[in-house]
Amino acid sequence: MIDRMKKYWPFIKIFIWFLVAFAVGFQFWRILHLEALKDPDGKHNSLTLLLQQLQSVSLSGIYLCGLLYIVGIGFSGWFWVDLLNDIKQPISLPFGLRCFYIAQLGKYVPGKGLALFLRINSAMKENVTITAGVVTSIYEVLFTMATGATLAVMLGLLSADTSTTQITAAAFLMIVTGIPIMPGVFPFIVRRLGKRFLPAEQLLVIPGSLRSFFRGLLSS
């Protein structure tokens, strides 16, 4: 089965990138159909209005926002690389960040599963096991979601415009994603769920130690 997949892997990769390109194009199409881009008089189409709005935007501001975004998510990439090194699956930081940034393209495909696939597939080129790639990626995503939800709760409590429903939803997400990342909890969950499917040696080193927790706080 694996040999057969290797044989067709170049075609699979072409299909994946085609899927990513289609998803990005679809997202752009959705943007063009937003109510905010519709001309009340019907004189201009959405693309023309979008280009007109972009002309009034400072290019330096766009570049700065893009740079800040790349640097910002880079901390999550650094945390993921650190998790791999922590569980004895070392990869270099430049290569790990490359895998992480490439995987961001997969987020445009519904389901978000392709982003995980792209990240792990790229990391396997430096001999990262599938199990290590999956568990570290899940832990990193949970940590990012938990810190984001925590920040949302804090800002919501400070803002008079935030409804109770919004704060409650953010608090619920904070609890659901925050409990698994507590030191010792994530390894326990993974070992309980994975003992029937994974070899015992792959369950010996799982992220979720006290060190991983504090490094996650640092990256957030």
Q: Which residues of the chain have pLDDT under 50?
A: 1-2
pLDDT of residue 2: 44
pLDDT of residue 37: 64
Closest CA to 121 of 104, 133, 105, 112: 133
pLDDT of residue 187: 87
- Rounded to whole angstroms, how far apart are CA atoms 37 and 31? 8
> What residues contact 129, with CB distance under 8 A and at least 6 apart?
89, 202
Distances (CA, A) of 34 to 29, 94, 111, 142, 206: 9, 38, 22, 31, 44
pLDDT of residue 1: 43
- Rounded to whole angstroms, how far apart are CA atoms 189 and 134? 14
pLDDT of residue 121: 84
pLDDT of residue 41: 66
pLDDT of residue 27: 76
pLDDT of residue 80: 94
- Rounded to whole angstroms, how far apart are CA atoms 58 and 70? 19
pLDDT of residue 67: 93
> What residues contact 6, with CB distance under 8 A and at least 6 apart?
none
The SS3 call for residue 119 is: helix
pLDDT of residue 83: 92
Q: What is the pLDDT of residues 29-67, one digit of tens each?
A: 777 777 666 666 666 666 676 777 777 777 788 889 889
Distance of CA 219 to the CA centre of its chain: 14
Closest CA to 79 of 28, 124, 145, 19: 145
Domain boundaries in the chain?
1-51, 59-219
Question: How many CA atoms does the CB half-sphere of 24 hold within 13 Å?
Answer: 9
